Amino acid sequence: MSDANGRWIYSAVNLNDPEPLANRKETILGCVITFLIVSWICVSLRLYVRFKIVRAPGWDDLFVGLYLITMTAGCISICVATNYGLGKHVLLLSVPTIQGFLKAFYVQNATYCSSTAFIKLALLLQYLRVFERGTTIYKITFGLVVFTSLWGFAYSFIAWVPCVPVSTYWDMSSDGKNCYGYGSHYPASFVGTYESHTATNMILDAIILIVPLPLLFKNGATTAARARLIALLSMGCIVLALAAWRLQTIVETQVATYPTRDPTWYGPISILLAALEINAASICASVPIFWPVLSSGWSGIFVTQEVKITHESRYIDDEDRDSLTRSGSMHSRNGSESQISIVESGGARGNKDGKKHYRDSFILRQVDPLRLKDDREQPSAIRGDSIGDEPRKWTKF
């Protein structure tokens, strides 16, 4: 609600409303902490695989790390806000308590804007490692990287600097003349900033979700690969659904200002959905990286050695041929041999020197899709050739 001059006004018309489930402290803490732990596990496994197993970190891992920092700070600020009136009516709170809530919410909102940009850039840069350079889909993805970077910087700046100085944001005595966007004291500017960011965030989520769809119909794709991609797209749909739900709550309550301005009462559902959305997005970005390694390692727990028994028969002379007619208790020294060998099947395979530094052009292109050509790089070891008249298969040394 606002007055004739377009400024905020407060009302007690909602003091008798029943308490929503999302306003309860145990609901907020339970959901936020649980998803935070799951997100940390998934991102940690992703980074471990990239740095320790395949030893091929890229720019996407950098943005996942930045996301992890901002996301953790945002989730902590939500938990802290429950001690400063989050879930209660703002008219029932003291001025120091409201100031404490505004400080916690300032951190939550700013880190959310940054986290959404970081996780989107991580996904797009991850796509660039898969798509062939020079193709249309590669160029589209690169364009999305540029647009998302500008989008994320703009909204993050507005969120981190909503007022000049920033402390004006939680100063209850301020007239708001030096505030704008997320810190504006005028409903039109304030609501418009939140709604525009939430709407564009959801649209970008949808675009990023459909970018890898061509891989689903690519010739030569195995059934297992298609199944994994479908599972990933299903997880992305969950993120998109959470973003759409959050947009609906923001529009319905006009950013916790309708039917009256009560941010601590109407805000919890939108804040909670923001935390769930961004944590679910990190899971989607991490599972495709660590799951193949985890699944192969899991099978190795149960099958560590495979026993292979071979039997060979050979005939050197007539004496050995005659030995075939001997009784079962008589054995020829040269007639047959049995061999038992142990075949390791649970351990790692490949080059024993795991720490060898490669400057192979193919590997460098997968690690850093944005790099310029380096004179020191070696020709790719992935090639096809032929011996004589018989073609050889593609071989990676």
DSSP string, 129-175: TTSPTTSHHHHHHHHHHHHHHHHHHHHHHHHH-SBSSGGGGG-TT--
CB within 8 Å of 275: residues ≥ 6 apart: 31, 32, 35, 36, 74, 75, 78
| pLDDT for residue 355 | 45
Name the band, by pLDDT with cuts 50, 70 and 90, for residue 361.
Answer: low
Helix, strand, or coil (residue 8): strand
What share of the chain has pLDDT > 70, as a percent?
Answer: 70
**Of the candidates 128, 160, 129, which has an alpha carbon nearest to the alpha carbon of residue 145?**
128
Above 50 in pLDDT, residue 341?
no
Q: Which pLDDT score, from 0 to 100, does residue 343 have?
A: 44
In this structure, of 75-89, 144-158, 169-183, the range with the lowest mean pLDDT score is: 169-183
- pLDDT averaged over the chain? 79
Q: How far is CA 284 from the centre of its chain?
A: 5
Helix (H) / strand (E) element for 329: namely none
**Cβ-contact 247, 196 below 8 angstroms:** no
269 CB-contact burial (10 Å; exposed 0-12 / middle 13-18 / buried 19+): buried
Q: What is the pTM of this model?
A: 0.73
- pLDDT in the model for residue 101: 97
Q: Which helix (H) or strand (E) holds 122?
A: helix 95-128
d(CA 313, CA 61): 56
Q: Is the pLDDT of residue 115 over 60?
A: yes
Query: What pLDDT score was predicted for residue 395?
Result: 41
**DSSP β-ladder status, 305-313 and 336-344:** antiparallel
Rg (CA), the chain: 30
d(CA 103, CA 105): 5
Q: Give the lowest-confidence range in 15-19, 35-39, 380-384.
A: 380-384
- Is residue 171's pLDDT more than 50? yes
**What distance in Å separates the CA atoms of residue 115 and residue 35, rounded to the nearest whole number?**
15
Confidence of residue 371 (pLDDT cuts 50, 70, 90): low
What are 352's strand-pairing partners? Answer: none
| Cα 97-73-287 angle, rounded to 5 deg | 140
With 80 as the cut, is the pLDDT of residue 336 above it? no
| Range of lowest pLDDT (123-127, 177-181, 277-281, 325-329) | 325-329
Is 249 within 8 Å of 269 (Cβ atoms)? yes
Q: Angle at Cα 293 formed by Cα 291 and Cα 295, nearest 5°? A: 65
Pick the more confident residue, 35 or 391: 35
Helices (H) and strands (E) in the chain, counts: 11, 6
In the chain, at which residue ranges do the beta strands (DSSP E only) sit?
305-313, 336-344, 382-383, 386-387, 390-391, 395-396
**Omega of the bond leading into 165 within 30 degrees of 0 (cis):** yes
Comparing C-alpha atoms, which of 12, 23, 29, 123 is closest to residue 67? 123
pLDDT at 397 over 80: no
Yes or no: say if 306 and 343 are a contact pair by the CB < 8 Å rule: yes
Residue 17: count of CB within 10 angstroms of its CB: 13
User: Where do the domains of the chain lie, and which CATH numbers do they carry?
Assistant: 21-300 (1.20.1070.10), 305-344 (no CATH), 357-397 (no CATH)
Q: What is the rounded distance in angstroms from the CA atom of residue 191 to the CA atom of residue 211?
A: 31
- The answer to whether residue 62 scores a pLDDT higher than 80 is yes
